[in-house]
Amino acid sequence: MAKTVRIPTPLRKLTNNEEVVQVNAGTIGEAIAELQSRYPGIRERLVDDKGDVRRFVNVYVNEEDIRFLKNQQTPLQDGDEISIIPAIAGG
Amino acid sequence: MEKHSGYMQALRCRECGREYPLTATHVCEFDFGPLEVVYDYNRIKKSLTREVIQSRPKSMWRYRELLPVANGPTIGLEVGFTPLIKADRLAKRLGVREVWIKNDAVNYPTLSFKDRVVSVALSRARELGFDTVACASTGNLANSVAANAAAAGLKAYVFIPTDLESGKIINSLIYGANVIGIKGHYDEVNRLCAEIAGKFDWAFVNVNMRPYYAEGSKSMGYEIVEQLNWKVPKHTVVCMASGSLLTKIHKSYQEFIQLGLAPGTDYKIHGAQATGCSPISTAQKAGLDFFKPVKPDTIAKSLAIGTPADGFYALKVMKDTGGAAEDVSDDELRESIRLLAETEGIFAETAGGVTVGVARKLIASGAIPEEDSLVLCITGNGLKTLDAVSGHVGQPREIRPSLREFEALVAAEARPIKA
């Protein structure tokens, strides 16, 4: 079984409007690389020049923010769900 | 854009500057940076003078050229222009020359500053053709969306953490809104709402309507300046959840100075958080320009956002203006709610206790000099967070309806207590 990535609206132009994409990567960093190989251009939307996840991009594995896990080294298991979400204002 | 767009010109990414049309969209496709409304300030300068403002009704809409609706407001016309109170008794207790309270605890109609942002967001949503509005909320925003949507005849969905104060939950349900409780903290509600907003064609006030919504907060700052006789205050203390209000108060001061409505002057904007959710104040105190997300644990639930979307910009505003940040414990904020109530007769919610408590710390540390004047932004009403102070304010003393019993009670209390 693979891992599922939910693609947010602003990035769907790059994924031919696919909302959900499967990857086989072992970590978040590898998942970003795998997405880039299939959807060229997606990497620079997610990470900055230094290779860090952009400051307004939040990445979650099974609902947990990767900044509470191991950032891009966060390991992925089969069946994991990855969400990529813009930061949202308060309420 | 073919359609008339008032004084708005475009949406622009705050990170990279790319521009977008004035639709219901909130993030830059390139870097996920937040989009902000761009105005035609040259045209605004020609039509918005002090005289024009003063000739209009006393609501936030007297500054309408600086608020992002194309054809004028249709929802929340009476919102804003809350009292600015000179708080001499509180000033004495805090040990500072002059304190002013901007009291949005009595904002119309739902007793918090959120009526400002919702009035803008729903007016704009209606212009853009939406019939359903929604929000992710820590309580006050849900109340305001529910009430204003009811009055406007719009359908409303509000998403809140299930553990909110009962007052805030009932205050959303009463208006007939669809209230969805999420088993998680606000950051999780937010994440879910971002995903829902991508699927449903609704006006999510703090998701796809955010560029418009957030601008409504500026009206609190415009009012402060006008009520201080067109002067920008030297110090303003603002509580921080996402950090948005603090950045918009700063923007309001900048705009008034730029438009010649207030003379240019140095001012400092200070940020207040609860220690149990203090990613922004912690970063500010450490001299960082980025923050580390946290898992909130505080009774100040309206400020319990562990991943503050405007945290970077709030840090920048404090740095640029020379402002400071502090945070207070749950006990300190409770004590400060009482201090404000006992000195000024104003019952603020937990966030107000945070603001007052932090002001006290900043005065004590010298960040706000004792000879200066400051404005405290009180954003919500204590009647909505009774749970937070219940059990900490004493109990009524009960007697039978007997004059003799009352006299005995007074006599007992007047008796000097022996050491």
Q: Which residues of A touch B141 (CB under 8 A)?
A: 90-91
Nearest-Cα residue of chain A relative to residue B200: A9
Beta-strand runs (E) in B232-344 = 235-239, 268-274, 325-328
Q: Domain A3-86 belongs to what topology? A: Ubiquitin-like (UB roll) (3.10.20)
Question: The complex's ipTM?
Answer: 0.86
Predicted local confidence at residue B71, as pLDDT = 93
- Mean pLDDT computed over A45-69: 92
A10/B28 touch (CB, cutoff 8 Å), yes or no: yes
> Are the CB atoms for B211 and B11 separated by under 8 Å?
yes
- Supply the DSSP string of B324-387, one letter for each residue: -EEEE-HHHHHHHHHHHHHHHS--B-HHHHHHHHHHHHHHHHTSS-TTSEEEEEE-BBGGGGHH
Q: In CATH, what is the architecture of B114-211? A: 3-Layer(aba) Sandwich (3.40)
Judged against a pLDDT cut of 50, whether residue B2 lies above it is answered with: no
Predicted local confidence at residue A90, as pLDDT = 65
Nearest by CB: B188 against A6, A55, A63 = A63
Give the confidence band of B415 by pLDDT, cuts at 50, 70, 90.
confident
B26 touches A at CB < 8 Å: yes
Average pLDDT, chain A: 92
Both tokens of A65, joined, read: 């923010």
A49 touches B at CB < 8 Å: no
- Mean pLDDT computed over B19-41: 95
Judged against a pLDDT cut of 60, whether residue B1 lies above it is answered with: no
Of all residues in chain A, what percent carry a pLDDT higher than 70?
95
- Mean pLDDT computed over B267-291: 97
pLDDT tens column, B343-364: 999 999 999 999 999 999 999 9
Question: What are the beta bridge partners of residue B316?
Answer: none
Residue that is written with structure tokens 């359903």 in the block: B132
Judged against a pLDDT cut of 90, whether residue B330 lies above it is answered with: yes
Judged against a pLDDT cut of 80, whether residue B419 lies above it is answered with: no
Q: List the one residue out of B337, B380, B77 whose CA is nearest residue B245.
A: B380
Q: Which residues of A touch B134 (CB under 8 A)?
A: none
> Are the CB atoms for A1 and A77 separated by under 8 Å?
no
This model's pTM is above 0.90: yes
pLDDT: which is higher, A87 or B34: B34
Q: Which residues of A touch B207 (CB under 8 A)?
A: 88
* Angstrom distance (rounded) from CA B204 to CA B339: 37
Judged against a pLDDT cut of 60, whether residue B83 lies above it is answered with: yes
> CA of A29: how far to CAs of A60, A84, B9, in Å?
13, 13, 39
Q: Which residues of A touch B138 (CB under 8 A)?
A: 90-91
Predicted local confidence at residue B414, as pLDDT = 83
Of all residues in chain B, what percent carry a pLDDT higher than 70?
98
B377 touches A at CB < 8 Å: no
Rounded to a whole number, what is the distance in Å from the CA of B198 to chain A's nearest CA? 6
CATH number of B84-110+217-389: 3.40.50.1100
Nearest-Cα residue of chain A relative to residue B197: A9
Judged against a pLDDT cut of 80, whether residue A89 lies above it is answered with: no
The values of phi and psi at residue B149, to 5°, are -65, -40
